[in-house]
């Protein structure tokens, strides 16, 4: 059976031990304890990997917990996969809308910047003629 310390996992996944303890406090990880030492098994390692992937995809900790909790229900892994697919569809749609909104704003900024630059050139021309 694989066993990991908090330091092992922190190094492997590039997070701080504090972050791992935070996920534990949030109920997402449940390491075994030997005295005050946390011992993480393969299950906790996989869950940490999934937490970090979920965070990268923009899921909240409560959404990640909801996905984890489904694993222990009668629908099990199938229910989990269905929920993840739905959450990905929703998240993708939101990101695509944000990308569209950013493109619109960048286009407006470009037009305004050109307008300002043109106005500055005209202002310089008027000043030069007045001198």
Which CATH number fits the domain that encloses residue 18? 1.10.1660.10
- pLDDT for 112 equals 97
Mean per-residue pLDDT for 104-119? Answer: 97
pLDDT grade for 55, boundaries at 50, 70 and 90: very high
Q: Is residue 9 within 8 Å of residue 20, measured between CB atoms?
A: yes
- Give bridge partners of residue 37 from the DSSP assignment: 34
pLDDT grade for 11, boundaries at 50, 70 and 90: very high
Domain interval for residue 9: 1-56
Share of the chain above pLDDT 90, in %: 74
Say if 89 falls within a structural domain.
no
What total number of domains does the chain contain? 1
Place of tokens 């996905």: 67
Say if 116 falls within a structural domain.
no
Rounded-to-integer distance, Cα 25 and Cα 54, Å = 17
Rounded-to-integer distance, Cα 100 and Cα 9, Å = 38
């Amino acid at each position: 059976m694989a066993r990991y310390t908090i330091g092992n996992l922190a190094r492997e996944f590039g997070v701080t031990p504090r972050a791992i303890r935070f996920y534990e406090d949030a109920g997402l990880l449940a390491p075994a304890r030997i005295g005050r030492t946390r011992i993480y098994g393969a299950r906790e390692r996989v869950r940490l990997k999934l937490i970090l992937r979920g965070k990268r995809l923009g899921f909240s900790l409560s959404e990640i917990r909801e996905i984890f909790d489904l694993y222990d229900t009668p629908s099990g892994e199938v229910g989990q996969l269905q929920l993840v697919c739905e959450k990905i569809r929703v998240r993708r749609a939101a990101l695509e809308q944000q990308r569209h909104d950013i493109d619109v704003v960048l286009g407006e900024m470009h037009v305004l910047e050109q307008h300002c630059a043109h106005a500055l050139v005209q202002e310089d021309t008027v000043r030069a003629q007045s001198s």
